Amino acid sequence: MPLERLEAEITALAGHLAAAECRWLLLIAEFDRREGHAHWGCQTVAHWLSWHCGLDIRAAQERVRVAHVLAELPLVTECFADGRLSYSKVRAITRVATPDNESNLVELGLHSTAAQLERSVRAYRSVIGRDDEVDIANAQHMARFFRFEWADDGSLEGRFRLPPEAGAILLKSIEIARSHVPPEPVAERSAERTGEPAASNCDALMLLAETFLTHAAPEHMGDRFQVVVNVDADVLADDADGVCELDNGPALAPETVRRISCDASIVETTDGAVDRPWRKTPAIPAATHRAVRRRDRGCRFPGCGRRAFTQVHHIRHRARGGDNAMTNLVELCWFHHRLVHEGGWSLRFDSDGEVLAIRPNGNVLPRPRPPSPSVGVSVERDNTRLGVVIAPDTIVPRWYGDPLNLPDVVDALLTARRRN
């Protein structure tokens, strides 16, 4: 193949791939709106993409973010679908684009490289954030607060406001806590679209709290930091009427207490009297606990595998006759542990020792199906069928080597912002 032909093949295929990726992202957004990931027991659509499409979880989260933003940017979507804008350019544009400025950003994207567009977007974001910085910083400090209260349903609700530097410390702590988790995190729709799943942020915050209590100074260690749940044995075994509540707190669902008691210490009482004061029985002996974690090495729910935020689960609960045999124990992440208890799913080992997940309707979760031979065989053919015409220079930026004049670019975007 002549070098010119090779070059044309590469650039044309890049345009076809961009057009196909636009369609792919729009399908992802629709799949997320329908919550298709929940059918597979996945925490978010990003987890589903990681399992079924082989994406790194962070790359999957970013694509979900871009997919949802595309619905609000028709011009960006049109140029992406025509193969004129690459995914890298669209990803940069969607960080600052609004319906008012997208035409300017698209024009910039068509006439610059992806690296130049990234620099322009970063510069624009930094400029629009500057305005009476000292006054704003002082106002932010004075406006900080953290408030919370118990809601009627027993949940803890709260709101907070932090100045940027304090917020950065908190977010970095949460980021590090989430670093071992495909965070994410079932998040609120609006939160998922920003790329910061709200549910996994809660998990990270819980880990921060538990880590602090575990590693606090010696004088602050011990039972004073335990969270106590009071529950009658009949409630735990048969959902009978009786006590099931946080100590000096709201009521809890029996299934929630079963989840908590899978991997917690227990003090048995008779008629309200503690049989052996200050002596607790671990739900799972330490040696068995270590053996389960050594065997499973992370969450065993199909398609998960996360190593942090995990607990050991009794397949048959101890309150219902289950024991601490290795065949009755399995390591699960917090999300899937809750899915199995409060979500109505169940687990069992098959004859080969693999974990089978069973949906609430009784159907066993199947292995991912291989794609139909008719799907995605030819990106170029599918583009042609959809009327997308892509030439070797469709995706090539209209840039001829002139220097990037960053001040002029930012000025033009600011002018368009003020005008709109």
- pLDDT score at 315: 93
- pLDDT score at 195: 45
309 has a pLDDT exceeding 90: no
| Beta carbons of 236 and 223 less than 8 angstroms apart | no
Which residues, 6+ apart, have CB-to-CB distance to 108 below 8 Å? 117, 120, 409, 413
- pLDDT score at 192: 44
Confidence of residue 158 (pLDDT cuts 50, 70, 90): confident
- Lowest-confidence segment of 28-37, 251-260, 378-387 by average pLDDT: 378-387
How many angstroms separate the first and last alpha carbons of the chain?
Answer: 50
Mean pLDDT, rounded, of the chain = 81
Q: Is residue 259 classed exposed, middle or buried when 0-12, 13-18 and 19+ CB atoms within 10 A define those classes?
A: buried
Residue that is last in its domain, among 293, 316, 341: 341
Rounded Cα–Cα distance for residues 204 and 195 (Å): 15
Do 98 and 129 lie in one domain? The reply is: yes
- pLDDT score at 292: 94
Average pLDDT over residues 212-232: 61
Confidence of residue 271 (pLDDT cuts 50, 70, 90): low
- pLDDT score at 46: 92
| Residue range 335-357, pLDDT digits in tens | 899 999 998 999 999 988 899 99
269 three-class SS:
strand
397 has a pLDDT exceeding 70: yes
Confidence of residue 280 (pLDDT cuts 50, 70, 90): low
Looking up tokens 């069928």, which residue turns up? 385
| Residue range 112-148, pLDDT digits in tens | 999 999 999 988 887 776 544 445 566 766 778 888 7
219 has a pLDDT exceeding 80: no
Rounded Cα–Cα distance for residues 102 and 413 (Å): 10
What type of residue sits at position 168? A
188 has a pLDDT exceeding 50: no
189 has a pLDDT exceeding 50: no
Question: Which residues on adjacent β-strands are paired with residue 347?
Answer: 357
| Residue range 52-92, pLDDT digits in tens | 888 888 899 999 999 999 999 999 999 999 999 999 999 99
Do 233 and 327 lie in one domain? The reply is: yes
Do 82 and 185 lie in one domain? The reply is: no
- Lowest-confidence segment of 81-90, 188-197, 207-216 by average pLDDT: 188-197
The answer to whether residue 277 is domain-embedded is yes
129 vs 149: which has the higher pLDDT: 149
| Residue range 196-208, pLDDT digits in tens | 456 677 878 887 8
- pLDDT above 90 covers what percent of the chain? 35
Do 97 and 75 lie in one domain? The reply is: yes
Rounded Cα–Cα distance for residues 407 and 31 (Å): 41
Sign of the alpha-carbon torsion through 260, 265, 271, 273? negative
Distances (CA, A) of 2 to 9, 13, 15, 37, 392: 11, 17, 20, 46, 15
- pLDDT score at 339: 92
Do 76 and 198 lie in one domain? The reply is: no
184 has a pLDDT exceeding 80: no
Which residues, 6+ apart, have CB-to-CB distance to 128 below 8 Å? 414, 417
The answer to whether residue 353 is domain-embedded is no
Do 398 and 327 lie in one domain? The reply is: no
The answer to whether residue 352 is domain-embedded is no
Average pLDDT over residues 298-315: 89
Can you give the residue range of the structural domain that contains 178? 136-220
The answer to whether residue 400 is domain-embedded is yes
Phi-psi label, residue 149: left if phi above 0, alpha if psi -120 to 50, beta otherwise: beta
Do 312 and 241 lie in one domain? The reply is: yes
Do 40 and 124 lie in one domain? The reply is: yes
Rounded Cα–Cα distance for residues 367 and 330 (Å): 19
Do 24 and 128 lie in one domain? The reply is: yes
Do 127 and 144 lie in one domain? The reply is: no
286 has a pLDDT exceeding 90: no
The answer to whether residue 316 is domain-embedded is yes
- pLDDT score at 29: 96
Residue that is last in its domain, among 341, 362, 394: 341
- pLDDT score at 223: 46
Number of domains the chain is built from: 3
- pLDDT score at 273: 54
The answer to whether residue 283 is domain-embedded is yes
**Residue 13, token pair as written in the block:** 């295929």
Measured from the Cβ of residue 135, the count of other Cβ atoms closer than 10 Å reads 9
- pLDDT score at 379: 80
Confidence of residue 209 (pLDDT cuts 50, 70, 90): confident
The answer to whether residue 360 is domain-embedded is no
Confidence of residue 363 (pLDDT cuts 50, 70, 90): very high
Do 122 and 190 lie in one domain? The reply is: no
Residue that is last in its domain, among 202, 220, 238: 220
Do 29 and 128 lie in one domain? The reply is: yes
Looking up tokens 């709290």, which residue turns up? 209
Question: Which residues on adjacent β-strands are paired with residue 231?
Answer: 244
Rounded Cα–Cα distance for residues 271 and 294 (Å): 39
Query: Which of 56, 37, 49 shows the shortest CA–CA distance to 335?
Result: 37
